[in-house]
Structure 1
């Protein structure tokens, strides 16, 4: 039998990060973590999101995500290396799966 860990997005507690931007934490092992981020239409991250100490992996589940420079439609994968930064926003709204392999 596998020692799988699993979580349902619907059961994960919701934490509002900024107006119109909410996070549901799905899993962590103390270092790496996985989350679902929902951005309402017209929402924008307050300040600059800096990827430290490690990279951020983003999969756009639905809607259109914008990193402050370009749009990424549903189905897009983004690797943001450690030390990179962006200003997350969404004109139309979106749902993102986020993975932080190094915290």
Structure 2
């Protein structure tokens, strides 16, 4: 299976574009954003768990990164409420489940083998730092050889100058509306921009975004 597998192309998926498909687990549905592979795949996915649903125990062969968008996601070690960011490196395992239901943004099989840090962060409690642009603040989440992950908050009216993305950029709009010269992106929108692409983002009303940079393959002629 190949979904949005050409990393040289810009991709935008808004909530109106969502198409939910059933997973092998009862009560669990997926909106596949990009995917290379079958059930075991390099994948970026929004996963929606009904109350009392679960996945069987499994090992993360290529690592797992997720952000809890709604509800409470759980496993045998922890409960992760909305706003929690989690990294489970290559070789870790768990049995995920939820009591009340939840929705997560998850990325699978995208870890560098040297990236061995397992942790979770409650982003609703963590402090943001001033960014390089007035009205923009940043919460760094993770730094590895192949990626930088952060939350970025735009105050109403904040604008970022035109810049390029070495190694590409991936954004999920968590709250509010992000804009740039290419379009408008409400909460729930996923954007993937290729290596060395450019834009000048802004937000008239303010927004909060998840951002990952530097992790996409370089575009070749």
- TM class, shorter-length: 0.7 to 0.9
- The structure with the larger Rg is 2
Q: CA 1:13 to 1:72, structure 2 compared with 1: closer, same or farther past 3 Å?
A: closer
Q: 1:64 aligns with which of 64, 68, 72?
A: 72
Aligned to 1:23: 30
The answer to which structure, 1 or 2, has the higher relative contact order (CA under 8 A, 6+ apart) is: 1
Aligned to 2:63: 55
- Pairwise CA RMSD: 2.1
Report the Cα offset of residue 96 of structure 1.
0.5
Aligned to 1:74: 82
Report the Cα offset of residue 32 of structure 1.
3.8
- Consecutive unaligned residues of structure 2, counting only runs of 5 or more, are 1-7, 112-221
Q: Check whether the contact 2:30–2:45 (CA below 8 A) recurs between aligned residues.
A: yes
Aligned to 1:97: 105
Aligned to 2:91: 83
- Consecutive unaligned residues of structure 1, counting only runs of 5 or more, are none
Aligned to 2:12: 6
How many residues end up aligned between the 2 structures? Answer: 99
Q: What is the TM-score with the length of structure 1 in the denominator? A: 0.82
Aligned to 1:41: 51
Report the Cα offset of residue 24 of structure 1.
1.6
